[in-house]
Structure 1
């Protein structure tokens, strides 16, 4: 039997943040900001006699599950890690997703076209990729999305540096000034 590890997160946040990051895939400060943003959501407050566990536990359980793949992400294994039931893992996931999706406009913020942040993004894009992308890219970080199994067609080309099959995520949208020419 393994003992639950959810209780170690406070220690990791204070003394070993890299371990906190490894478990939940976010830094402790980011976790706290997400927690502050979603804690007041009505989905975490019910009139039932059965009280929900604290939102921090629900969020941590969700992030642990979302940040892992394969056998580690099975509800049974997440439940063992968090010291809760499998049903609780599923309920936590549903509640946290509802709360995060309701905060979409707060979490996803595209800077104005002529802002300093957007100019930094364009300069970075031009220096790290091809110059033609300078005015076209608002990008995710290139995170890999693990695939369940090897694709049937060109399967080996999906094999990544972490010894798994995955796709890389890249989101591209044209900047506002050029958008009108593409829409017409």
Structure 2
């Protein structure tokens, strides 16, 4: 028992063919609309993201275990981020990519580590200039509600899905898409 760690024989989960390979090889070049449905970005944006992340040390292979390419890892993470509910579960993403749950978790960690590095954030995220903010404020003042004029950025109606029904007032969180979620608005 100590030698095997398990009392009963373990069944391995048979894996079907990976759809990940098809997305990266066929859809990326031949059907960018289907590529975008899977990864929520265009092939051009995807290639730019991979190029920006590929030299990050988190993707360096310091062991004798083979590691997926940065392109494959970014694709898996984008597929996971672009879906919610059961489709975003590690098992569903693993089935889509032909990988195990632990690998999906590790890939997500690697991609987020690379994306959140200060160097990447400085190059990828740009705050609006004073002129751009003022133009947005004028539009809000003219077209919307004058009291909101000093805000220059609104995120309205964004649904943040919850993984389960909240204990208190749970029915209040049930949205039009039949999920439990929070509807947020942010004014900057």
Unaligned runs of 5+ in 2: 1-14
Alpha-carbon distance between aligned partners in 2 of 1:120 and 1:112, rounded to the nearest angstrom: 10
Offset of 1:163 from its aligned partner? 2.1
Residue 20 of structure 1 corresponds to: 35
Could you tell me how far apart the structure 1 residues matched to 2:137 and 2:70 are? 37
1:104 aligns with 2:118: no
**In 1, are the aligned partners of 2:133 and 2:152 still within 8 Å (CA)?**
no
**What is the TM-score when the length of structure 2 is the normalising length?**
0.76
2: CA distance, partners of 1:128 / 1:69: 33
Match status 1:4 vs 2:25: no
Per-residue CA deviations over 1:79-135 (Å, capped at 9, x if unaligned) read 11111222211111110010000022333221122x2x3344334544664232232
Aligned residues: 171
- Mapped to 1, the partners of 2:86 and 2:116 lie a distance apart of 26
Q: Offset of 1:73 from its aligned partner?
A: 1.8
Q: Which residues in structure 2 correspond to 1:27-176 (within 5 Å)?
A: 27-102=42-117, 103-113=120-130, 115=131, 117-126=132-141, 129-140=144-155, 142-173=157-188
The TM-score with structure 1 as length reference comes to 0.78
Structure holding more strand per residue: 2
